[in-house]
Chain A
């Protein structure tokens, strides 16, 4: 697919045109953090490009906190979401496997997914908690986007990633063929960011995490996993996670009315797996805490063939117990079977 270059001023005007046709969401800065917000003619120039991942994962546009599943929802409008970083588009790859690519298709998800146009961004200022490189994911998207943007000087390198992306750009004369020189500069910058993420994580050991986690099933380490005493089971790690998919179903209509809602759930909550009898396979916090690690780094691999962690680090930054899972994992993997 093509890679193009556009000057920032031209891009803003190009986007203005797109704004006439539908809703656009993009990252904006608020108290040093990035949050997704609706783009308007007024705030168009305040969009923050190529900084870091926003606070919310792009999951929220595909899989809202609470939605109706019976009766099924109407068709949804096409939306453009700008600013997902490499970790987050990887998250979508996992959500697709869960909700669309198995034997059963979640209609709400499919409707939203088909109407989502993804403009991903290179990450150029990763947080110290970012760990994508630990899983061989680079801080610049290589797939799972319609177009990807890399800021370079006074313009953007625009990489087309899909047919929809190609249509989006069309034959607009404001886009130029990218020069080898520009591409080279982008790649140098990308390498620098990659290296920075690697440097930030060099003390942590994630080597062969899937295989090693599996070997540690049912071993003593899970009787008192590192830092479990700081976990208050708030569920922040699961809510912020780009790949946590767990939900419950709730019948909320009036009696005799078939109305069902789907609501996010968290495996950290004591009631998560509790059956009507009151029995639960994970009655203690240490079991629920351990379960999240096992789910991400082992169960998801065996269920979907892909690691359930994208290295975004939101479960670290969002943890009110200040648990750094990188330390937990490093500690856990030190165990000899």
Chain B
């Protein structure tokens, strides 16, 4: 890290496109003014100038050096402004921060991805990274859930392009909604139903989970029940965050910084810390 570089100075980015994913979720596509690289699982802080800053894990492929995407649910002041962004607007991005998924360790293994709601965003970056070097992994099983079919993000990819990949690489999807409509042809039930009767060699697998806290909790419990160990389960954690670099202390889970030691943790690392499922 350059000692005389201002850690809070963002890289300016031009908004190329704003994609409406669901009634409450949009993806902003950005073109950074200089190269901005990250590894799957790392996050960045997105500034809307004059408004505020919030941390997000990019949802685009870490291999895409041209643009950077963030998929954002409207929940607060900053995300509301992000939703109002238009093509040509300028925002700031600083990072990347934190510890990525250990892809080297994943090599030669079967990988289970579990994403719920907007939690599919970080999983998408990981998925795109895995797909890029698909021959390194024995199998990829992608489980996802959302409340209703309308709430699904990345609809065109999930129900289109990505499924076509299944013919070329050892990839399969297990897709569910809490409540289906008449056109739905996949599963119904909360995301844990996708974990029933998994065709996987659990001893030689790793799993990455991201979603709302309650979903992560019950997914983790289910994974333990079907034989995964706490060391095999990678959770992408969220906390209030300002600095992103281990100074401001807002994101501590016990003595662990989500920004620096995470945001990706194994369940083994955090299971004994206070109040993890928030």
- A residues with a Cβ closer than 8 A to B are 69-72, 98-99, 102-107, 110, 217-218, 245-260, 262, 265, 267, 272-277, 279-282, 287, 294-295, 298-299, 302-303
Could you give 27 example pairs across A and B, Cβ below 8 Å?
A71-B6, A72-B9, A98-B247, A104-B7, A104-B247, A105-B7, A107-B4, A218-B272, A245-B249, A247-B243, A247-B247, A251-B50, A253-B50, A258-B10, A258-B12, A258-B92, A259-B50, A262-B8, A265-B248, A267-B249, A273-B250, A281-B274, A281-B275, A281-B278, A282-B275, A298-B255, A303-B246
For A258, the closest partner residue in chain B by CB is B49
How far apart sit A98 and B278, CA to CA, in the bound complex (Å)? 26
A275:B240 contact, CB within 8 angstroms: yes
B8 touches A70 (CB 8 A): yes
Q: Is B134 close to A, CB under 8 A?
A: no
The residue from A106, A248, A253, A254 contacting B250, defined by CB atoms under 8 A apart: A248
Chain B residues contacting A110 (CB-CB under 8 Å) are 3
Query: Which residues of chain A come closer than 8 Å to B255, judged between CB atoms?
Result: 298-299, 302-303
- Contact across chains for B246 and A272 when beta carbons are under 8 A apart: no
A148 to B248, CA, bound (A): 31
* Contact across chains for A253 and B249 when beta carbons are under 8 A apart: no
From residue B103, how far is it (CB to closest CB) to chain A in Å? 21
Q: How far apart sit A287 and B275, CA to CA, in the bound complex (Å)? A: 10
The reply to whether B274 and A107 form a contact with Cβ atoms under 8 Å apart is: no
| B52 touching A246, Cβ below 8 Å | no
Q: Are B238 and A70 in contact (CB under 8 A)?
A: no
User: Which residue on chain B has the smallest CB distance to residue A299?
Assistant: B255
Tell me the bound Cα distance from A94 to B92 in angstroms: 31
| B contact residues vs A (CB 8 Å cutoff) | 1, 3-10, 12, 47-54, 75-79, 90, 92, 213, 238-240, 242-243, 245-250, 252-255, 257, 260, 272, 274-275, 278
Known: A107-B6, A275-B239, A298-B255. A245 touches B247 (CB 8 A): yes
A275 and B253 contact, Cβ closer than 8 Å, known pairs A99-B247, A218-B274, A281-B278: no
Q: Find A106's partner among B77, B238, B247 (CB 8 Å cutoff).
A: B247
Residues of chain A contacted by B240 (CB below 8 angstroms): 272-275, 280
- B254→A249 contact, CB < 8 A: no
DSSP class of B's interface residues: helix, strand, loop or mixed?
Answer: loop
* Chain A contact residues, majority secondary structure: loop
**Closest residue of chain A to B51, judged by CB?**
A251
Per the bound structure, the CA–CA distance linking A294 and B254 in Å amounts to 8
Which chain B residues border A303 with CB–CB below 8 Å? Answer: 246, 255, 257
A180 to chain B, nearest CB (A): 43
| A147 smallest CB distance to B (angstroms) | 27
Minimum Cβ distance to chain B for residue A72 (Å): 4
CA distance A276 to B255 in the complex (A): 22
**CB contact under 8 A between A70 and B10, given known A253-B50, A257-B49:** yes
Q: Give the distance in Å from the alpha carbon of A110 to the alpha carbon of B4 in the complex.
A: 9
**Chain B residue nearest in CB terms to A300:** B255
Do A253 and B275 touch (CB < 8 A)?
no
Partner of A251, one of B1, B47, B257: B47
Q: Sorted from nearest, which 4 A-B pairs have the closest CB atoms?
A: A276-B76, A104-B245, A255-B50, A299-B255
**Chain A nearest CB, measured from B91 CB (Å):** 10
Report A95 CB to chain B, min CB distance, Å. 10
Interface centre among B92, B252, B253 (most CB of A within 10 A): B252
What is the distance, in angstroms, from B243's C-beta to the closest C-beta of chain A? 7
Q: Is the CB of B246 within 8 A of A102?
A: yes
Q: Which residues of A contact B47 (CB under 8 A)?
A: 251, 258, 260
A302 to B278 CA separation, bound complex (whole angstroms): 23
Please measure, in the bound complex, the distance between the C-alpha atom of A53 and the C-alpha atom of B246, giving whole angstroms: 29
| Complex Cα gap A247–B245 (Å) | 12
What's the nearest-Cβ distance from chain B to residue A224, in Å? 16
Q: How far is the CA of A70 from the CA of B52 in the complex (A)?
A: 12
Which residues on the B side are within 8 Å of A251 (C-beta)?
47-53
Residue in contact with A295 in the complex, picked from B6, B10, B78, B249, CB distance below 8 Å: B249
CA gap between A108 and B248 in the complex, in Å: 14
| A contact residues around B8 at 8 Å (CB) | 69-70, 72, 249, 260, 262
